[in-house]
Chain A
Amino acid sequence: MAAAMASAISCAAATPAVAAQLQAKGCATTPARAVCVRVSKAFSGLHSIDLPTASVSASSSNARTDGAVKSSRVENRRNPALDVVASAGEKKNILMLGGTRFIGLFLARLLVKEGHQVTLFTRGKAAVTSQLPGETDEEYAAYSSQVKHIKGDRQDFESLKAAFGDKGFNVVYDINGREGTEAEAILNAIPALDQYIFCSSAGVYLKSDLLPHREIDAGDPKSRHKGKLDTEALLESKGVKWTSIRPVYIYGPLNYNPVEEWFFHRLKAGRPIPIPSSGLQITQLGHVKDLATAFVAVLGNEKAIGQVYNISGSRYVTFDGIARACAKAGGFPEPELIHYNPKDFDFGKKKAFPLRDQHFFTSIEKAQVELGWTPEFGLVEGLTDSYNLDFGKGTFRKAADFSTDDMILEKLGKKTFVAA
């Protein structure tokens, strides 16, 4: 790779090929200096992952103008010639905002396993710790005895300094922040931080005819995720060392957003699956465990400072394809798909389909190249994990509601169903 760099004719310089899958293939493309962050098995389904760091990030240094609407944010302040080493050795004192519902459950465990001190800051609505499906008693005991908790409300800005200002936190994982003011309040409470790591959303991207979305693309100031965009801008303006992660649709055991759950309800009931318009809309699902490892990969990573990363699965999927993948994951026969024109219906306040009716997917190349991170789960494999550990056991968050399905079936003259 060093030789390739030296002789690079291409003006953009060679992008370092350190994606984990290449390493798995045994290609001779190891970076000059690699530090492996070993993420151990915290629960079933998660394999040991070596996360070698990229030795050079050349690709990130070029602001691309390739026709997609370009963001006005200053892209890259890094010197691409620097070799970067993840400070895998240094243990951090981490404050996690959230951590008791979905993403944080998996992320906190990884961080504790790595030897970091982790404190969750929540209102206490959900239990501070609970054993995950597939987690052994020993693993759970190890985690629950080490993770700490501070009870409070992050919306009460005045109380924050007293709550955690003097605890010596040097890293914040902001998993549940929505508005710039919320992040600002945290920064006011803890002025000196090594890193502020924020869970943003790919929902900030402006809709485009050119896809996939890339980190350099413009955000949509009118999107309902505007607060996430504002938070990123605020972090940038404060001069704090920040990193932002933009997931697409997250799925996995304990998902409280009805992504796979919506499909599993219908498959279990033996119902046809109504899909709006052509079913050719393309989106992207990312397993929560892969998201957690990405969050770990940016910790203490100099490369990641001031950077935004799309994190999701490495393949995209059509709406029809999700239905079929869920069927495979749960061992169901191939489902009947019904397509309808959503404009012909008035569903009131109810959502007839859980996903945005448009193309919505991102490129995860930047994270793969710069962080050496890559998703472990393929779609069917990941949905199987979700089904086996959660929805296939009869657990769910939202009860099945087929009222919109029945409206569609009736209008299209199909047989209506009585719930089994």
Chain B
Amino acid sequence: MATIQAAACSNVGQFSCSSAATPRSSASGVVSWLCPSAKFSTELRLSSVSSFSQATSALQNSWLVKQSRREVVLPGKVAAARAAAGGEKNVLIVNTNSGGHAVIGFYFAKDLRAAGYGVTILTLGEEASDKMKKPPFSRFSHVEKDHSPSIRNDTFAKRRQLGHRYGYLEESKKKAWIWIARRNAEQSGHGDTQELKELGVQTVWGSNTDIGAAVGSAKFEIVLDNNGKDMDAVKPVADWAKSSGAEQFLFISSAGIYKTTDEPPSVEGDAVKSAGHAEVEKYISELGFSSWASFRPQYMTGSGNNKDCEEWFFDRIVRGRPILVPQPGLQLSNVAHVSDLSSMLTLAVQKPEAANGQIFNAVSDRAVTLAGFARICAKAAGKEVEIITYDPKAAGVDAKKAFPFRTVHFYAEPRAAKELLGWTSKTNLPEDLKERYAEYIKIGRDKKDIKFELDDKILAAVKQPVTV
């Protein structure tokens, strides 16, 4: 396990497996790797490559390896074997069904599986609801079956091919759908997949007030609430976790609760505004879990996000529109790749004593200015951008609606995670946003017809644009 993690993290593109990954080539010149301990998810068949090194670089660029740079994939079979051996702990993630934090549960589930934990993710609401058609939920476990003729031919051919290996037609039919879905996902950059289900994550739906109904008699040593902002939403989850014997309780709070300060950054232990998240943190701390911790995020980027972040900037950049930033433009904020949060949460699960009783700022360790973020987005898109700063009051607009980030300094640093968990940040905004831009184009969002009413209102009000 440590081998996989080390290889995935230390060198982009290198992928090794806990058992030796043996490259083999077939007569047609196709080079592929098959991890003997995996079923199918680690096999990559690369056509039209004439050499090992070409194959390696193709491998480096593949979707799977990009994922492995961040999350390491351990197929369900290995984890199941681990569980059978005893000692596997189970984690329940209670996940919101919308909003900026939704994606945290998705990445956390993957990281936990890679670390050998059993995972159940309970998403609020119903599996059939429209909300579940959006990412990251569309990538949990449901696959829309496309019965168009071309797909049917594809799946028939794939089933025949897989049937040769697996022999059992039903099994190959299932795999065919998954193969098609993942191919579509890769080609289109989106689409339904079963990424969590493939990893052996149990996906269930239900309510935070009746968790027992959703998970039955399953036992969880660790529970994460990635849903509530106040006592009404979180108390029932915390109470259930306590009464069902959970050892560790984790809570996704918010760095927005820090009081403004003359001396940034906001550091764990600084004064917070009362009510809401702060009340929840206090309640959890007094319930008597063997380990509890609270994580305070800011903004997140990453494939599978449910709420726009950098997309707001790309929308304008690709259409040649200026980016309008509330003055002065040098306000600091923090956008972390969501895998920084999932790695921090995973470390807390692995080191419950170190994490116990702690607040962790769940952010990357570089802040970015508002105008600077716009510049980095433009660079990621390979385009020029005009940045205009303006006064929202003078323009007669509500800054909250006109701009996606808070317009005051919103700046926390992840000092506790570094000191106590040995966590390090991997966020690399210029690189991460390039990937996000590639996906933005793949799903065709640049072609989408978007109205920019507020932007136009601001531009009309700004008589003398001040470029930054």
Please give the residue numbers on chain A whose beta carbons come within 8 Å of chain B beta carbons, in ascending order. Answer: 4, 7-15, 17, 19, 22, 27, 59, 62, 65-68, 208-212, 277-278, 280-282, 315-318, 320-321, 324-325, 358-359, 363, 365, 379
B413-440: CB near A (< 8 Å → 1, else 0) gives: 0000011111111111111100000000
**Docked pose: A321 CA to B263 CA in angstroms:** 7
User: Can you add 17 more A-B contacts, CB < 8 Å, to A12-B424, A277-B328?
Assistant: A4-B422, A9-B350, A10-B347, A12-B422, A15-B424, A66-B366, A67-B432, A68-B366, A209-B375, A210-B376, A211-B367, A212-B366, A278-B327, A278-B328, A278-B330, A281-B330, A317-B262
Q: Would you list 22 pairs from A and B whose C-beta atoms are within 8 A, ordered by A residue?
A: A9-B115, A9-B347, A9-B350, A10-B424, A11-B9, A12-B424, A14-B422, A66-B364, A66-B425, A67-B428, A209-B373, A210-B367, A210-B429, A211-B366, A211-B367, A280-B330, A281-B330, A315-B265, A316-B263, A318-B263, A320-B262, A321-B262
Residue of B nearest to A365 (CB): B418
Nearest B-chain residue to A14, judged by Cβ: B422
Closest Cβ of chain B to A295, distance in Å, is 24
- The answer to the question of B81 belonging to the interface, with a C-beta cut-off of 8 Å to chain A, is no
Q: How far apart are the CA atoms of A27 and B425 in the complex, in Å?
A: 23
**Beta-carbon nearest neighbor of A378 in chain B:** B263
Q: How far is the CB of A344 from chain B (nearest CB, A)?
A: 12
User: Do the beta carbons of B366 and A210 come within 8 Å of each other?
Assistant: yes
Say how far A5's CB is from chain B's closest CB, in angstroms: 8
**C-alpha gap A62/B9 in the complex (Å):** 11
A325 lies within 8 A of B430 (CB): no
Kindly identify which residue among A8, A277, A379 contacts B263, using a CB–CB cutoff of 8 Å: A379
Q: Which of the residues A8, A66, A280 comes within 8 Å of B422, measured between beta carbons? A: A8
Q: Is B80 an interface residue (CB 8 A)?
A: no
Given contacts A66-B427, A210-B366, contact A15 B418 (CB under 8 A): yes
Q: Which residues in A have their C-beta under 8 angstroms from that of B6?
A: 11
Cα A212 to Cα B369 with chains together (Å): 11
Are the CB atoms of B368 and A209 closer together than 8 Å? yes
Provide the residues of chain B in CB contact with A317, threshold 8 Å. Answer: 262-264
Please name all residues of chain A whose beta carbon is closer than 8 Å to the beta carbon of B421 when the two chains form the complex.
14
Q: Nearest chain A CB to B445's CB is how many angstroms away?
A: 23
Are B265 and A13 neighbours in the complex by a CB distance under 8 Å?
Answer: no
Q: Which B328-380 residues have a C-beta within 8 angstroms of A? A: 328, 330-332, 343, 346-347, 350-351, 354, 364-369, 371-373, 375-376
Per-residue contact bits, chain B 388-428, to A (CB 8 Å; 1 contact, 0 not): 00000000000000000000010000000011111111111
Instruction: Tell me which residues across on chain B come within 8 A of A316, comparing CB atoms.
Output: 263-265
Closest 5 CB pairs of A and B: A209-B372, A14-B422, A321-B262, A11-B9, A315-B263
Q: Say whether, besides A14-B422, A209-B375, A359 and B262 are in contact (CB < 8 Å).
A: no
Q: A11-B10, A318-B409 are in contact. Are A66 and B369 (CB under 8 A)?
A: no
A159 to B331 Cα, complex, angstroms = 52
Contact A59 B424, beta carbon cutoff 8 Å: yes
Q: Is B95 an interface residue (CB 8 A)?
A: no
Taken together as a complex, chains A and B put the C-alpha atoms of A358 and B371 apart, in Å, by 13
- Closest Cβ–Cβ distance, residue A366 to chain B (whole Å): 12
**B contact residues around A59 at 8 Å (CB):** 424
B2 at the interface (CB under 8 A from A): yes
Select one of B2, B10, B332 contacting A211, CB under 8 A.
B332
Interface residues of B (CB under 8 A from A): 1-2, 5-6, 8-10, 115, 261-265, 267, 327-328, 330-332, 343, 346-347, 350-351, 354, 364-369, 371-373, 375-376, 409, 418-432
Nearest CB on B from A290, distance (A): 16
- Chain A residue at smallest Cβ distance from B265: A316
Query: When A209-B373, A359-B369 are in contact, do A65 and B428 touch as well, CB less than 8 Å?
Result: yes
Say how far A7's CB is from chain B's closest CB, in angstroms.
8
Taking CB atoms, residues of chain A closer than 8 Å to B373 are 209
- A residues near B330, Cβ cutoff 8 Å: 278, 280-281, 358-359
Choose among B2, B367, B430 the residue that contacts A9 (Cβ–Cβ < 8 A). Answer: B2
Docked pose: A43 CA to B421 CA in angstroms: 37
Q: Which residues of A contact B422 (CB under 8 A)?
A: 4, 8, 10, 12-15, 17
B8 adjacent to A280 (CB under 8 Å): no
- State whether B366 touches A17 (Cβ < 8 A): no
The docked-state distance in angstroms from the alpha carbon of A19 to that of B365 is 18
Query: Given that A209-B375, A316-B265 are contacting pairs, would A12 and B9 also be in contact in the complex, using a CB cutoff of 8 Å?
Result: yes
CA A17 – CA B8 in complex, angstroms?
A: 25
State how many angstroms separate the Cβ of A313 from the closest Cβ of chain B. Answer: 9
Question: What's the Cα separation between A318 and B263 when bound, in Å?
Answer: 7
Give the chain B neighbours of A281 by CB distance below 8 A: 330
Most chain A CB within 10 A, of B5, B422, B426, is at B422
Residue of A nearest to B422 (CB): A14
| Whole-angstrom distance between the Cβ of B232 and the nearest chain A Cβ | 34
Of all chain A residues, the one with the shortest Cβ separation from B369 is: A209
Q: Which has the most chain B C-beta neighbours within 10 Å: A11, A12, A17?
A: A11
Expressed in whole angstroms, the minimum distance between the Cβ of B422 and any Cβ of chain A is 3
Which of B261, B343, B365, B366 is the most central at the interface, judged by chain A CB atoms within 10 Å of its CB? B366
Q: Residues of B contacting A321 with CB < 8 Å?
A: 261-263
Q: A209-B373, A277-B328, A280-B409 are in contact. Are A325 and B262 (CB under 8 A)?
A: yes
B409, A10: Cβ atoms under 8 Å?
no
Bound state CA distance, A67 and B430, in angstroms?
A: 5
For B343, list chain A residues within 8 Å (CB).
10
**A359 partner residues in chain B, CB cutoff 8 A:** 330, 332, 369
CB neighbours (8 Å) of B367 from chain A are 210-212
Q: Which of B262, B327, B419 has a CB less than 8 Å from the CB of A324?
A: B262
A265 to B213 CA separation, bound complex (whole angstroms): 69
Bound Cα distance A17, B351 (Å): 14
**CB-nearest residue of chain A to B263:** A315
B5 touches A10 (CB 8 A): yes
> Which of B265, B419, B424, B430 interacts with A19 by CB under 8 Å?
B419
Task: Please name all residues of chain B whose beta carbon is closer than 8 Å to the beta carbon of A8 when the two chains form the complex.
Answer: 422
A280 to B421, CA, bound (A): 32
**Given the complex of chains A and B, what is the CA–CA distance between A10 and B418 in angstroms?**
11
Question: CB-CB < 8 A to B115: which residues of A?
Answer: 9
A13 contact set on B, CB distance < 8 A: 422
Contact A209 B262 (CB under 8 A): no
Residues of chain B lying within 8 A (CB to CB) of residue A320: 262
CB distance from B14 to the nearest CB of A (A): 11
Q: How far is the CA of A379 from the CA of B263 in the complex (A)?
A: 9
Most buried by B among A27, A67, A358: A67
B419 touches A22 (CB 8 A): yes
Q: Say whether A67 contacts B372, CB under 8 Å.
A: no
State whether A9 and B429 are in contact (beta carbons under 8 Å apart), knowing that A282-B409, A325-B262 are contacts in the complex: no
Closest chain-B Cβ to A354's Cβ sits at a distance in Å of 18
Closest to A13 in B: B422
Once the chains are docked, how many angstroms separate the CA of A352 from the CA of B409? 25
What is the CA–CA distance of A17 and B148 in the complex, to the nearest angstrom? Answer: 58
Contact: B426 with A66, CB < 8 Å?
A: yes
Give the chain B neighbours of A282 by CB distance below 8 A.
264, 332, 409
Q: Contacts of A277 on B, CB cut-off 8 Å? A: 328
CB distance from A316 to the nearest CB of B (A): 5
By a CB distance below 8 angstroms, the chain B residues around A27 are 420
Query: Across the interface, do B351 and A4 meet the contact criterion of CB distance under 8 Å?
Result: yes
